[in-house]
Amino acid sequence: MANPMNDIIICSASMDNLEDLVKLSKMCFSIPWTKESLKQELLDTTFRKYLVAIKDNIVIGFIGVWIVLDEGHITNIAVHPEYRGIGIGDKLLNNLIYLCRNLEIKNITLEVRKSNIIAQNLYKKYGFLEQGIRKKYYANNNEDAIIMWKYNI
């Protein structure tokens, strides 16, 4: 049986991907990013980097990072619901860490919902450590966020 990951390409996101990112954001997040917000993310290629996962010319996942001096802040990671559980999030995160190393980023941080155990386990797999809590961080339900850091990437 063929590996479903073999025909998935990870590459830098571009404005050509904007509509797909908007659709994925609506599918994946209870508080989706707006089209205008995502457009601004893609336009600022100096301090913001986005990668996309593409299968059959369709964006099925993305990940973003903000760069502040020598630190990265992962803004979001999304995988189309029909493609979850086969390693796309893993591949996106691995490629983002590699990109950050090349940009001489020293540490990476993120916030993750306290209830999102699958995401927490993915981050832990890559050496992210729980370093704090942001109480009532998520506006839609006041859920806490776990702050995670990966040091010395």
3 is a domain residue:
no
User: How large is the average pLDDT for residues 42-56?
Assistant: 96
73 is a domain residue:
yes
1 is a domain residue:
no
71 is a domain residue:
yes
The per-residue pLDDT for range 72-115, each reduced to its tens digit, is: 999 999 999 999 999 999 999 999 999 999 999 999 999 999 99
99 is a domain residue:
yes
Sorted by sequence, the CB contacts under 8 Å of residue 40 that are 6+ apart come out as: none
CATH number, domain containing residue 111? 3.40.630.30
Domain with 106, as residue range(s), is 8-150
Catalytic site residues? 111, 123
2 is a domain residue:
no
CA 105 to each of CA 1, 19, 77: distance values in angstroms, whole numbers, following the listed order: 38, 29, 19
This prediction has a pTM of 0.93
User: Per the structure, how many domains does the chain have?
Assistant: 1
The per-residue pLDDT for range 126-149, each reduced to its tens digit, is: 999 999 999 999 988 999 999 999
The per-residue pLDDT for range 12-25, each reduced to its tens digit, is: 999 999 999 999 99
Indicate the helix (H) or strand (E) that contains 75: strand 71-79
